[in-house]
């Protein structure tokens, strides 16, 4: 457990967590719950009911947390403090992935069945636009600089890239086989996990080109970044692949729980949180030592598909 330094005065929130603590919000598909995990105290503090087999998740600013429940076809805005559903909308299709554009107050939700992204107002959850993608879009990512939105179009073996401001399509880029999860690195490159070809495509979103393809473990799913490295969950191998951003060479494997899926980093990039679907746990990984430092229980079937760790300074 990370310890507070001697003499540090901690302001405590209503939830009992120190001010500045990172919190993980893990969607549990099988159990239809949301698990709240305090990463300062390294413990689960709450389990909140969340019907409809929730999978996708995106943390927002303030009290906002957004989730997607594919079975009920609902997108929910949930209170990050109480777990209460503040508002929700039912979308006619197959919602699964979600990403938040904080600069413009937009939510992007992928429609697995109808090859599109919905664009929602993050306050009202009203539909503002629809963007055409390739077949079976899954993961969505917004670049840190707010320039690009990208979707992993699984059955089309491609990534669709849009201008985040105008929503105009920019590129459809061939990647590996059956891309599912993707995320922009801090340097702006887009990393795409291809579950069918067991590799990661590194994409330049501005030019629409693939600059590298990196072999990883079996069935790569989620991607996160910390301390100058990319970390990729390998579902069938029960491992994380470690890829330095400077060399793009596969450096190491870290053993985690069974069937790892969602992965995210804390604000300071000092911890990674990995949702292990079959174990009903999360693995907490130190990105410097590449060791698992804690394993915590969650609700049944944790997926955490998206950005699910709220930074302590928000």
Segment-wise mean pLDDT, segments of 10 residues, the chain, 314 residues: 37 44 96 97 97 96 93 97 96 97 97 98 97 98 97 98 98 98 98 98 98 98 98 98 98 98 97 98 98 98 97 59
CATH of the domain at 294: 2.130.10.10
Q: Look at residues 53, 22, 82, 42 and name the one whose alpha carbon lies nearest to residue 298.
A: 42
Whether residue 3 lies inside any domain: the answer is no
Whether residue 116 lies inside any domain: the answer is yes
> What total of structural domains would you count in the chain?
1
Alpha-carbon Rg for the chain in angstroms:
18
Whether residue 308 lies inside any domain: the answer is no
Q: Provide φ and ψ at 84, rounded to 5°.
A: -70, 140
Tokens of 150: 């990208």
What's the confidence (pLDDT) of residue 80? 95
Which residue shows structure tokens 């060791």? 291
What's the confidence (pLDDT) of residue 62? 83
What's the confidence (pLDDT) of residue 21? 84
What's the confidence (pLDDT) of residue 149? 98
What's the confidence (pLDDT) of residue 220? 98
Q: Is 140 helix (H, G, I), strand (E, B) or coil?
A: strand
Determine the structural domain holding residue 235 and report its residue range.
93-298
What's the confidence (pLDDT) of residue 213? 98
Whether the CB-CB separation of 34 and 53 falls below 8 Å is answered with no
Whether residue 190 lies inside any domain: the answer is yes
Q: Look at residues 220, 202, 292, 201 and name the one whose alpha carbon lies nearest to residue 261.
A: 220
What's the confidence (pLDDT) of residue 18? 52
């Amino acid at each position: 457990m990370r310890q507070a330094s001697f003499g540090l005065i901690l302001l405590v929130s209503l939830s009992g967590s120190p001010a500045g603590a990172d919190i993980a919000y893990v969607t549990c598909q099988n159990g239809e719950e949301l698990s709240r995990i305090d990463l300062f105290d390294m413990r689960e503090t709450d389990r909140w009911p969340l019907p409809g087999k929730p999978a996708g998740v995106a943390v927002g600013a303030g009290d906002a947390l957004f989730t997607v429940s594919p079975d009920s076809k609902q997108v929910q805005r949930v209170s990050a403090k109480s777990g209460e559903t503040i508002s929700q909308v039912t979308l006619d299709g197959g919602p699964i992935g979600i990403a938040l554009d904080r600069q413009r107050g937009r939510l992007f939700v992928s429609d697995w069945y109808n090859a599109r992204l919905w664009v929602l107002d993050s306050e009202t959850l009203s539909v503002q636009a629809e963007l055409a993608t390739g077949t079976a879009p899954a993961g969505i990512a917004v670049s840190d600089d707010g320039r690009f939105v990208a979707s992993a179009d699984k059955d089309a073996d491609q990534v669709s890239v849009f201008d985040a401001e105008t929503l105009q399509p920019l590129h459809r880029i061939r990647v590996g086989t059956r891309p599912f999860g993707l995320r922009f690195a801090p340097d702006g490159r887009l990393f795409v996990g291809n579950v069918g070809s067991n590799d990661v495509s590194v994409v330049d979103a501005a030019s629409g080109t693939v600059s590298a393809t990196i072999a990883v473990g079996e069935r790569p799913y989620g991607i996160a970044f910390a301390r100058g490295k990319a970390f990729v969950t390998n579902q069938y191998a029960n491992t994380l692949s470690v890829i330095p951003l400077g060399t793009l060479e596969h450096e190491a494997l870290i053993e985690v729980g069974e069937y790892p899926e969602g992965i995210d980093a804390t604000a300071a990039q000092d911890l990674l949180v990995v949702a292990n679907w079959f174990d009903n746990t999360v693995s907490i990984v130190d990105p410097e030592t590449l060791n698992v430092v804690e394993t915590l229980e969650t609700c049944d079937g944790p997926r955490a598909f998206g950005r699910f760790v709220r930074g302590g300074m928000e």
